[in-house]
């Protein structure tokens, strides 16, 4: 079976959508599905089998992303879709309309993955408009797009309920992104600490993700400022890059935690990131808008216990309280949970073992098998 994916983002742009596409494309092959992809060019793209790159330009004020030339994206999608049985849209911008055009022109089923909760994101990027108006706009936009499809994939039960509340009437299938076997290859935590000049005995908590306001990293800085009263040597590592970097550095200075916080930028997903997880005593996460929270599972795969908020998509991962501690949604309570775990080496070992076993349940092969079945049902 042949499926065409179309997206506004892909590697080298690192985010959850790129990771989801790569993971599923790799895992689907074992289930009889050849998934090709149409995506923007970033200028220095490594050649990849089955990937068609479309000329694109930089997005003003956003050096990470690219805006594909729409006419060329639409043409490339239409040409690539001729030999495919299902079209799978991955993002709601130009790719959505190119994929929908191809599906209608060729009379083929079309499905989309709803990765991002836009009603919570827009207020961070268009702060001069009323939040209520932005939420209404995001809901109408999402409802219209989803109801134009044959089906929608959502990564969590919370996202399914949110789209139902929007008035989406198309079938909604819960299908999170799984973990490939490579996520379980042991990272070199001691070597990572040595490379970054971190004392082996220093307590370390880690955040991995886009350094953006919607990730609620400022909340984590406040929790770290409170936690260091009990753990003066605490170090908070923030990996990734994004538009909130400068604001967060200023916040760290205001809180007086410059010596307790280190921004280390992007890490290579295959070589460096597993070692960062392995080097940390705990992974901390406070996003209230996450649709899944794949990084929680990545941390768990490296035996790194999680301290996080169980909100939106992260609830599906954390609700069983395997390999994690659920923290209150306020900095003081979050700090208490974090300090308690960092002070209890026995609990960290136990939770780390639990975390790795639990992460195994989120296998990319099991989830790809479900996606292949969904494609086959659509193509009938």
Which residues have a Cβ under 8 Å from the Cβ of 101 and sit 6 or more positions away? 74, 77, 78
Spatial separation of the C-alpha atoms in residues 223 and 219, rounded to whole Å: 6
Q: What is the pLDDT of residue 263?
A: 98
- 198 and 108 belong to one structural domain: no
Residue 154 belongs to domain with CATH number? 3.40.50.2000
Sign, Cα dihedral of 59, 63, 65, 68 = positive
Q: What pLDDT band is residue 76 in, cutting at 50, 70 and 90? A: very high
pTM of the model: 0.86
Return phi, psi of residue 2, to 5°. Answer: -115, 130
Quote the domain boundaries for residue 301.
181-362
SS3 assignment, position 304? coil
Whether the pLDDT of residue 123 is over 60: the answer is no
**In whole angstroms, what separates CA 161 from the centre of its chain?**
19
Rounded mean pLDDT, 128-152:
87
Which residues have a Cβ under 8 Å from the Cβ of 159 and sit 6 or more positions away? 114, 117, 174, 291, 312, 313
Residue indicated by tokens 């609700």: 319
Q: What is the pLDDT of residue 46?
A: 81
* Angle subtended at Cα 99 by Cα 95 and Cα 103, rounded to the nearest 5 degrees: 175
- 190 and 165 belong to one structural domain: no
- 167 and 198 belong to one structural domain: no
SS3 assignment, position 1? coil
Whether the pLDDT of residue 259 is over 90: the answer is yes
Percentage of the chain with pLDDT > 90?
84
pLDDT tens, position by position, 150-189: 999 999 998 999 999 999 999 999 999 999 999 999 999 9
- 150 and 222 belong to one structural domain: no
- 10 and 100 belong to one structural domain: yes
- 229 and 333 belong to one structural domain: yes
Which residues have a Cβ under 8 Å from the Cβ of 292 and sit 6 or more positions away? 16, 155, 156, 176, 177, 313, 314, 316, 317
pLDDT tens, position by position, 207-257: 999 999 999 999 999 999 999 999 999 999 999 999 999 999 999 999 999
Q: Name which of 297, 279, 309 is nearest 364 in CA terms.
A: 297
Whether the pLDDT of residue 121 is over 70: the answer is no
- 147 and 208 belong to one structural domain: no
pLDDT tens, position by position, 79-116: 999 999 999 999 999 999 999 999 999 999 999 999 88
- 295 and 310 belong to one structural domain: yes
Token code pair at residue 42: 């970033």
Spatial separation of the C-alpha atoms in residues 309 and 288, rounded to whole Å: 7
Q: Name which of 84, 88, 38, 40 is nearest 64 in CA terms.
A: 40
Q: What is the pLDDT of residue 125?
A: 54
Beta 235-239 vs 306-308: how paired, if at all? unpaired
Whether the pLDDT of residue 138 is over 90: the answer is no
- What's the number of domains the chain is made of? 2
- 308 and 166 belong to one structural domain: no
pLDDT tens, position by position, 19-41: 999 999 999 999 999 999 999 99
- 53 and 201 belong to one structural domain: no
- 231 and 139 belong to one structural domain: no
- 131 and 185 belong to one structural domain: no
Neighbours of 346 (CB within 10 A): 7
Sign, Cα dihedral of 223, 317, 151, 180 = positive
């Amino acid at each position: 079976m042949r499926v065409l994916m179309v997206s506004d983002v892909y590697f080298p742009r690192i985010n959850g959508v790129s990771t989801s596409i790569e993971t599923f494309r790799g895992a689907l092959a074992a289930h009889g599905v050849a998934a090709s992809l149409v995506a923007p060019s970033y200028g220095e793209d490594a050649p990849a089998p089955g990937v068609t790159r479309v000329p694109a330009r930089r997005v003003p004020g956003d050096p990470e992303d690219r805006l594909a030339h729409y006419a060329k994206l639409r043409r490339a999608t239409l040409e690539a879709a001729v030999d495919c049985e299902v079209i799978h849209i991955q993002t709601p911008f130009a790719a959505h309309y190119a994929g929908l055009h191809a599906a209608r022109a060729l009379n083929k089923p079309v499905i989309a993955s709803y990765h991002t909760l836009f009603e919570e994101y827009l207020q961070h990027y268009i702060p001069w408009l009323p939040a209520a108006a932005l939420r209404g706009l995001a809901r109408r936009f999402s409802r219209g797009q989803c109801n134009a499809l044959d089906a929608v994939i959502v990564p969590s039960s919370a996202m399914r309920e949110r789209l139902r509340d929007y008035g989406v009437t198309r079938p909604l299938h819960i299908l999170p992104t799984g973990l490939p076997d490579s996520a379980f290859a042991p990272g070199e935590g001691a070597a990572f600490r040595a490379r970054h000049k971190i004392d082996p005995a220093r307590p370390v908590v880690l955040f991995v993700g886009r350094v953006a306001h919607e990730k609620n990293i400022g909340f984590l800085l406040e929790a770290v400022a409170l936690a260091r009263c009990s753990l003066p040597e605490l170090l908070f590592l923030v990996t990734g890059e994004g538009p909130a970097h400068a604001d967060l550095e200023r916040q760290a200075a205001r809180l007086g935690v410059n010596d307790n916080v280190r921004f280390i930028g992007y890490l290579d997903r295959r070589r460096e990131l597993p070692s960062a997880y392995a080097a940390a005593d705990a992974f901390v996460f406070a996003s209230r808008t996450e649709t899944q929270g794949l990084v929680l599972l990545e941390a768990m795969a490296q035996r790194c216990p999680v301290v996080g908020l169980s909100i939106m998509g992260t609830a599906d991962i954390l609700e069983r309280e395997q390999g994690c501690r659920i923290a209150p949604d306020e900095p003081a309570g979050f700090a208490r949970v974090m300090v308690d775990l960092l002070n209890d080496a026995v609990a960290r070992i136990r939770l780390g073992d639990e975390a790795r076993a639990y992460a195994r349940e989120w296998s990319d092969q099991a989830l790809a098998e479900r996606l292949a079945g969904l494609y086959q049902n659509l193509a009938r």
